[in-house]
Amino acid sequence: MKKPIAIQGIKGSFHHEVVQHYFNGEAEVVECMTFDSVIDTLLEEQTDEIVMALENSIAGSIIPNYALIDNHNLSIVGECYLDIQHSLMALSNQSIEDILEVHSHPMALLQCKVFFREYPHIKLVEAKDTADVAKQISEQNLKGIAAIASKNAAQLYGLNVLAESIQTIKHNETRFVIVRRENNHTDNAYINKASLKFELDHKRGSLAALLNVLSDCKLNLTKIQSLPKIDTPWKYAFFVDVTFVDYKDYEKAKSIIGLMAENFKILGEYKNARL
Amino acid sequence: MKKPIAIQGIKGSFHHEVVQHYFNGEAEVVECMTFDSVIDTLLEEQTDEIVMALENSIAGSIIPNYALIDNHNLSIVGECYLDIQHSLMALSNQSIEDILEVHSHPMALLQCKVFFREYPHIKLVEAKDTADVAKQISEQNLKGIAAIASKNAAQLYGLNVLAESIQTIKHNETRFVIVRRENNHTDNAYINKASLKFELDHKRGSLAALLNVLSDCKLNLTKIQSLPKIDTPWKYAFFVDVTFVDYKDYEKAKSIIGLMAENFKILGEYKNARL
């Protein structure tokens, strides 16, 4: 039996693409309508692993998804990068001139706005999910309507791709993470990346001092983001990703950070997907 | 004549509240449907100043708005913090039991979802803008429909507040900035905060070294965020906010950053709104 992996969205979505790629076809997606319900499948032990977008090169970090992992004390056990490419698709007997309306997620419509300037006869209509529109067009044989979704969705729902890579910014790389209830890795040999969270007082040089330690321990920083703690003025939380060659260097850094920072927490230890 | 300040949204929106507060009632808002069109009023010299949300404590930085300022070489000349509080409002002859539907922006609906669990008879409907729903209810005398918006909007459109502070996370502080085509301040005396952008190679310790300089120059970091440069692997852009007491310290830091980092750019120099 294939293992169930919960995602936000349906088959044909970008999350689905990540599941197929990361698990080499050995997984079955559990379709959820919201990120909250994705997390629920994990908490209620309907799934042991989920896939969730965590940041992208256009919008930056998806802080609410960070908060879901952090608040529920879940653990990142892997990551996967996907270059989001939007295609325009419709029933196979339709050309772009036949299309009167394009339905898609507001974010997808926004990213493809420039493309549609050449087709002023097409009305842009907001929908809940990109892949779901493709599914509806196929199942209900909807003429005159096109979807913006992945090529994967076109194939899955038997639609014809009218145009490829129609988004304005040609590269929108999104980072997805694989999340479990706990990180029960027993072998440290393959671990060369970690996601950390810690808090520092608003004291001049406090972050610089901590980054010096990471550097001295031969850790490389691949991401840093500060978030002010609303209920504790002058305290900042930092989300940091580090890569390393030797797990022992990382262990040393961990013990020092534990002394220097408050509320130090490891959000995940995993294999760097970008080598 | 009051000076025109463009905002995304209409009167009664949170952006409008910021304009009233920051300009002490000496400004007239220019209502725009998108952030892009807000920027257009500035580029086409219909306005000399605009107000734009830049980050909030729930979702973090609004990277696309950072990109608008950066790509058009605009300048941040001021900032303002607002604690976003959502109220439920309807026509004055309506009680919460009379309400069948609540229309609001998807983000506002999401933030208030928990409140509506107690009212399962109310249907949540997505709308484009929070304040606009309040306006429609008022103008079209819509019964059975409520809006989620600011108390400001209730007052402006003559609606009755049925419940206050209905969002799940009680503090959602949003940082707004005041933006001009260029920063033409002549007096440095009141300047004690700056927004900077620079790029660094992915070399171990490069960020730590730069933060050491900021600390040595007596600058305090109030925000840091890394963004990988998609078209240039292993390069990172950093958005950093710093505060300082003496403008000379900041000038010294600027000249050193210019030597250490690439594509160093000052996004704004202004007065810290949090003292």
pLDDT confidence band for B275 (50 / 70 / 90) = low
Mutate one of B36, B210, B225, B274 to test the A interface: name it (highest A CB count within 10 A): B225
What are the E-state strand segments in chain B? 3-8, 27-32, 49-56, 60-61, 75-83, 87-90, 101-104, 123-126, 145-149, 160-163, 173-180, 193-201, 220-228, 235-243, 262-270
Tell me, yes or no, whether A106 lies in a domain: yes
Tell me, yes or no, whether B23 lies in a domain: yes
**Claim to verify: residue B203 and residue B260 sit in the same structural domain:** yes
**Residues above pLDDT 70, as percent of chain B:** 98
Which helix or strand (DSSP H or E) is residue B143 part of? Answer: none
**Mean local confidence (pLDDT), B115-134:** 91
**Claim to verify: residue B151 and residue B209 sit in the same structural domain:** no
Work out the minimum CA distance from B228 to partner chain A, whole angstroms. Answer: 7
Does residue A187 carry a pLDDT above 90?
no
Per residue in A112-163, pLDDT (tens digit) is: 989 999 999 999 888 888 899 999 999 999 999 999 999 999 999 999 999 9
Query: Residue B79's closest CA among B181, B217, B227, B180?
Result: B180
pLDDT confidence band for A218 (50 / 70 / 90) = very high
**Claim to verify: residue A217 and residue A263 sit in the same structural domain:** yes
Residue A154: count of CB within 10 angstroms of its CB: 24
Burial class of B259 by CB neighbour count within 10 A (0 to 12, 13 to 18, 19+): exposed
Q: What is the pLDDT of residue B233?
A: 63
Q: What are residue B180's DSSP bridge partners? A: B75
Tell me, yes or no, whether A275 lies in a domain: no
Q: What is the pLDDT of residue A227?
A: 84
Does residue A7 carry a pLDDT above 80?
yes
**Mean local confidence (pLDDT), B134-151:** 96
Task: Assess B207–A contact: CB distance below 8 Å, yes or no.
Answer: yes
Q: What is the pLDDT of residue B78?
A: 96
Q: What is the pLDDT of residue B202?
A: 76
Phi, psi of B205, deg, nearest 5: 85, 0
pLDDT confidence band for A233 (50 / 70 / 90) = low
Q: What is the pLDDT of residue B60?
A: 79
Task: Assess B231–A contact: CB distance below 8 Å, yes or no.
Answer: yes
**Claim to verify: residue B44 and residue B60 sit in the same structural domain:** yes
Contact assignment for B225 to A224 by CB distance below 8 Å: yes
Segments forming the whole domain that contains residue A149: 87-163
Do residues B92 and B158 lie in contact, with contact meaning Cβ atoms separated by under 8 Å?
A: yes
**Mean local confidence (pLDDT), A23-38:** 93
Residue B18: count of CB within 10 angstroms of its CB: 25
pLDDT confidence band for B189 (50 / 70 / 90) = confident
Tell me, yes or no, whether B109 lies in a domain: yes
Residue B124: count of CB within 10 angstroms of its CB: 16
Domain stop point among A180, A209, A228: A180
**Mean local confidence (pLDDT), A153-179:** 93
Does residue A231 carry a pLDDT above 70?
no
The CATH number of the domain holding residue A78 is 3.40.190.10
Q: What is the pLDDT of residue B248?
A: 96
Does residue A236 carry a pLDDT above 90?
no
**Residues above pLDDT 90, as percent of chain B:** 74
**Claim to verify: residue B18 and residue B49 sit in the same structural domain:** yes
Task: Assess B260–A contact: CB distance below 8 Å, yes or no.
Answer: no
Give the count of Cβ contacts less than 8 A between chain A and B.
Answer: 92
Contact assignment for B230 to A204 by CB distance below 8 Å: no
Contact assignment for A204 to B226 by CB distance below 8 Å: no
Using DSSP bridges, classify how beta strands B3-8 and A262-270 pair: parallel, antiparallel or unpaired: unpaired
Contact assignment for A57 to B228 by CB distance below 8 Å: yes
Domain stop point among B131, B147, B180: B180
**Mean local confidence (pLDDT), A32-57:** 93
**Claim to verify: residue B43 and residue B101 sit in the same structural domain:** no
Tell me, yes or no, whether B199 lies in a domain: yes
Longest Cα–Cα distance of chain A, Å, equals 66
Does residue B218 carry a pLDDT above 80?
yes
Question: Which comes out higher in pLDDT, residue A122 or B56?
Answer: A122
Domain stop point among A180, A214, A243: A180
**Residues from chain A contacting residue B231 (CB–CB below 8 Å):** 171
**Spacing of C-alpha A231 from chain mean position:** 28
**Claim to verify: residue B66 and residue B115 sit in the same structural domain:** no
Tell me, yes or no, whether B69 lies in a domain: yes
DSSP A199-217: EEES-TTHHHHHHHHHHHT
Does residue B142 carry a pLDDT above 70?
yes
**Claim to verify: residue A10 and residue A68 sit in the same structural domain:** yes
> Lowest-confidence range among B169-183, B184-198, B219-233?
B219-233
Contact assignment for B204 to A219 by CB distance below 8 Å: yes
Residue A23: count of CB within 10 angstroms of its CB: 19
The CATH number of the domain holding residue B242 is 3.30.70.260
**Claim to verify: residue B76 and residue B110 sit in the same structural domain:** no
Q: What ipTM was predicted for this assembly?
A: 0.80
**Residues above pLDDT 90, as percent of chain A:** 74
Which tokens belong to A159? 């639609």
Distances (CA, A) of A248 to A191, A221, A224, A242, A251: 11, 17, 22, 14, 5
As a whole number of angstroms, the distance between CA B240 and CA B89 comes to 39
The three-class DSSP label of residue A241 is: strand
Q: What is the pLDDT of residue B183?
A: 83
Per residue in A71-89, pLDDT (tens digit) is: 999 999 999 999 999 999 9
Tell me, yes or no, whether A22 lies in a domain: yes
Contacts of A186 (CB under 8 A, 6+ apart): none
Tell me, yes or no, whether A186 lies in a domain: no
Contacts of A111 (CB under 8 A, 6+ apart): A58, A86, A167, A168, A169, A172
**Claim to verify: residue A131 and residue A62 sit in the same structural domain:** no
Does residue B230 carry a pLDDT above 80?
no
The structural domain count of chain B equals: 3
pLDDT confidence band for A267 (50 / 70 / 90) = very high
